[in-house]
Amino acid sequence: MDSMEINKGMAAVLVAGIVFFLTGWIGVTLVDEKRLEKPAIAIQGAPAADASSGAPKPVELPPIAPLLAKADVAAGESTAKKLCTSCHTFTEGGKAGVGPNLYGVVGGPHAHMEGFNYTAGMKAKTGPWTFDELNEWLHKPSAYVPGTRMAFAGISNDQQRADVIDYLHSLSHTPVPLPAP
């Protein structure tokens, strides 16, 4: 192979590279890549996509007040005993386990137990625990406090969740008033 042929080969590679680069650039310039504002095909029952980010919107939970109005404290207590006692105590002055003691948590501040090692995400939450916030939290802890150490998937049944919140609400000498339905 003489040097002329090697040169031709190298030129071919170079030209191919330039053509490859140019076609890519022309493609990007010609095609205006924009997201559709609405999905082209709406799927019934699917959560609507957020136009700006493309992320699904958080699930809208039904209002907690009417569910609390017909909540059953005893049912809530038995659900809590089943699902929560592996990590929580509910008695006044009860010890922390994997999770904090929960006496007086409703209406108390987020991260309400003195001395418990809460996650940064939980400590960053300000203000007292409201019924709505507890509703969201117990529906899906990892959505309410990303990175939480409460390794619990959540209670998906709306009334069952309200029953548990009603039980938590009873754990106080002076329970905060229930929201008006």
Query: Candidates 11-19, 32-40, 61-69, 105-113 — which segment interacts with ligand HEC by CB under 6 A?
Result: 105-113
Q: Which is nearer to ligand HEC, 49 or 113 (CB)?
A: 113
169 binds ligand HEC (CB under 6 A): no
Q: Is 150 in the site for ligand HEC (CB under 6 A)?
A: yes
Sign for the pseudo-dihedral over CA of 154, 156, 161, 163: negative
Q: Which amino acid, 149?
A: R
89 binds ligand HEC (CB under 6 A): no
Q: What is the DSSP letter of 128?
A: B
Scanning 54-119, the segments in alpha helix (DSSP H) are 64-69, 73-83
- Tell me if 86 contacts ligand HEC by CB under 6 A: yes
Q: Is 164 in the site for ligand HEC (CB under 6 A)?
A: yes
Which residues have CB under 8 Å from 58's CB, separation 6+?
A: 143
> Residue 75, interface with ligand HEC (CB under 6 A)?
no
140/149 with CB nearer ligand HEC: 149
Q: How far apart are CB 117 and ligand HEC at their closest, in Å?
A: 8
Q: H-type helices in 84-157, by residue range? A: 120-123, 131-139, 141-144
Looking at 61, 73, 75, 87, which residue binds ligand HEC (CB under 6 A)?
87
CB 143 within 8 A of CB 136: yes
Stretch that binds ligand HEC, among 15-23, 29-37, 57-65, 99-107 (CB under 6 A): 99-107
d(CA 123, CA 116): 11
Work out how close the CB of 169 gets to ligand HEC at its nearest, in angstroms, rounded to a whole number. 11
User: With binding defined as CB under 6 A, does residue 90 bind ligand HEC?
Assistant: no
- Torsion angle of C-alpha atoms 167, 169, 173, 174, degrees rounded to 10: -150
Helix axes 131-139, 158-170, angle to 10 degrees: 130
Binding-site ranges for ligand HEC (CB under 6 A): 80, 83-84, 86-88, 98-100, 102, 105, 110-113, 118-119, 121-122, 138, 145, 148-152, 155, 164
